[in-house]
């Protein structure tokens, strides 16, 4: 029941330049998301002419937001004393909470060039589905990198990340990836049920609620990501997840008034 994991995170090296599996999967998640979004637009007879621009805005916003939140909340002492290190994103350090906020800001900026007949909340609902599936790839990339590892198990089972130590650990990256996959399938099922009449805020609210509830639960299996959270009752990731859970709940409740009315046959 023990599985040893040792994987080279570098896909290809050319001189001083290297292509990492993490970067490939991270960017790939956005291109796959763009493809899913285009299919949704075609299904709803909405112009997808700006889909590529939206993808670029959301990608840039996600990287910027994820980097800033990591630096501010997970290692503030180091980055406040070495502010130029914030720019060295190739060294690693991206926070998913900041990534979501950055993606929202990027989509908001991109929406200003998108077909104005559709509301921003309509856009967020349709972006929630590819976002959930994209999160699966990011967590798989974390597993390939042997990062964001789980706490040690009882010793009779688990994944041994040979690049870190010889302790059997919870493969919490895969726990998260599996959770996000199920959430993506659930959101897609809801969308297929409602189609064009999907109540505004339902899918995006469901994404925020379910993804960050899963994050709160699975943080219990993770090694603390911030040094100053040792000994605390809750992790930084759990605290940061609470506003997203609250927002998701509010959006779902508000969407109820827009549910299609059932008519007796």
Mean pLDDT of 112-136: 88
Look at residue 217 in the predicted model and tell me its pLDDT.
96
Look at residue 265 in the predicted model and tell me its pLDDT.
43
pLDDT digit string (tens) for 56-115? 999 999 999 999 999 998 888 889 898 889 988 877 788 999 999 999 999 999 888 765
CA–CA gap between residue 39 and residue 42 (Å, rounded): 5
Contact in structure between 101 and 135 (CB atoms under 8 Å)? no
Contact in structure between 187 and 207 (CB atoms under 8 Å)? yes
Q: Is the pLDDT of residue 18 over 80?
A: yes
Task: Tell me the pLDDT of the chain averaged across its residues.
Answer: 90
Look at residue 111 in the predicted model and tell me its pLDDT.
87
Residue among 29, 23, 52 nearest 134 (CA):
29
Global pTM value: 0.91
pLDDT digit string (tens) for 21-30? 999 999 999 9
């Amino acid at each position: 029941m023990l599985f040893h994991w040792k994987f080279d995170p570098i896909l290809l090296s050319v001189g001083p330049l290297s292509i990492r599996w993490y970067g490939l999967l991270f960017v790939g998640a956005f291109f796959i998301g763009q493809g899913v979004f285009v299919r949704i637009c075609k299904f709803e007879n909405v112009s997808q002419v700006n889909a590529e621009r939206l993808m670029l805005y959301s990608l840039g916003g996600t990287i910027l937001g994820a980097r800033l939140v990591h630096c501010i909340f997970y290692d503030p002492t180091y980055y406040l004393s070495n502010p130029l290190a914030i720019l060295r994103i190739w060294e690693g350090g991206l926070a998913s909470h900041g990534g979501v906020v950055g993606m929202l800001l990027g989509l908001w900026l991109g929406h200003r060039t998108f077909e104005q007949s559709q509301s921003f909340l309509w856009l967020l609902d349709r972006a929630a589905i590819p976002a959930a599936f994209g999160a699966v790839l990011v967590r798989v990339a974390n597993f390939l990198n042997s990062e964001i590892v789980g706490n040690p198990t009882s010793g009779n089972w688990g994944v041994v990340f040979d690049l870190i130590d010889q302790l059997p650990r919870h493969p919490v990256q895969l726990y998260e990836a599996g959770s996000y996959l199920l959430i993506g399938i659930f959101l897609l099922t809801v969308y297929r049920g409602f189609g064009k009449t999907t109540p505004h805020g339902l899918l995006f609210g469901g994404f925020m609620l379910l993804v960050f509830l899963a994050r709160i639960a699975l943080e219990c299996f993770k090694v603390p990501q911030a040094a100053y959270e040792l000994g605390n009752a809750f992790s930084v990731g759990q605290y940061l997840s609470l506003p997203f859970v609250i927002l998701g709940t509010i959006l779902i409740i508000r969407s109820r008034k827009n549910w299609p009315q059932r008519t007796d046959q």
